[in-house]
Each structure stands twice: as structure tokens, then as C-alpha cells.
Amino acid sequence: MTKYWLMKTEPTTFSIDDLETSEEQTTSWEGVRNYQARNTLRDEIQVGDRVLFYHSACKEPAVVGTATVVRSGYPDIHAFDRRHKYFDPKSDPAKPTWYMVDIQLEQKLDTPVTLKAMRGQAKLEGMVLLQKGSRLSVQPVKKKEFDTVLKMAAV
């Protein structure tokens, strides 16, 4: 059964345009260093799941596209590379601490769905993203919320 997710990224770090120009429009969702989000990547997200691609920490936070999971959770190899910014000296390849998934672009939205617009949509009032204190970079989304966001984008 398909599940739905929202993945946050800062556009200055990795944007929807970066995903679009990646080889096969695919990337690994690496560098997650929160245990709850790690557990989601490791245990819950599966191939075929759908993703709202969200730009955060920018002038106008918004859902800017959608993606599909093309590889389920596997060890974040960057945690083992001393030269990489996501290196974690405590992570052991025999018992990895951190995980990642691969996603592939479905579409860029012609009209991004802003955080402000989502806050004004009654159908989204229970959405994890809109809850006070919600900071996880990977979070669940209900199918009706996913569909509502896409309708707001007039897709």
C-alpha cells in the first residue's frame, strides 16, 4: 500500500531544480541526523511511496514538487566517509546508525503551494507540517492531505 510523505530541504542545499537536473532525476535523501526521521527512513518508507518535496528555511516555504521513492532505506554511506560533511565517527558500517532512501522526481509544480496557503486550508488542519513545533525533515502525510496539496497547485 502506498504511503505518503513530506521531505523538507533548504533550497540553498538541495532544491527541486537540483533534483530535476540530477542523473535520472534521482537522488539519495541523505544527511538525516534525527533519530525519529532516521527510523522512518529505515523502517517505514518503501519503494513506490509518494513524496511532497518541500522547500524550507527560505523566504516563502512551500511544496514545490512531488517525487516517488525508488529505493527503500539503506545505510547512509556518507556517515562513514571522514571527508564528508555528514560523517559520524560513532556510526559503524557493521551496525549503521543513519539511513537514507532514494527518490525520483515526478513533477515540479507550476504553482508552489506555500506554507501560508496550506495554513489557510481547512482540509489540512491536521497535517503534521502545520502542527506547532513540527520540525522533522521527513514526516508522514495522509493521502487526502497529499491530494489536497496537489489540488491547491492545480495539478
50-54, 103-107, 120-124, 130-134: the lowest-pLDDT one: 130-134
pLDDT confidence of residue 34: 94
> Domain coordinates of the chain in residue numbers?
4-149
Give the pLDDT band (50/70/90) at residue 102.
very high
Q: Is 24 exposed, middle or buried (0-12, 13-18, 19+ CB in 10 A)?
A: exposed
For 59-82, what is each residue's pLDDT tens digit?
999 999 999 999 999 999 999 999
- What CATH topology corresponds to 4-149? ph1033 like fold (3.10.590)
By three-state DSSP, how is residue 6 classified?
strand
pLDDT of 155 over the 70 cut: no
For 42-56, what is each residue's pLDDT tens digit?
999 999 999 999 999
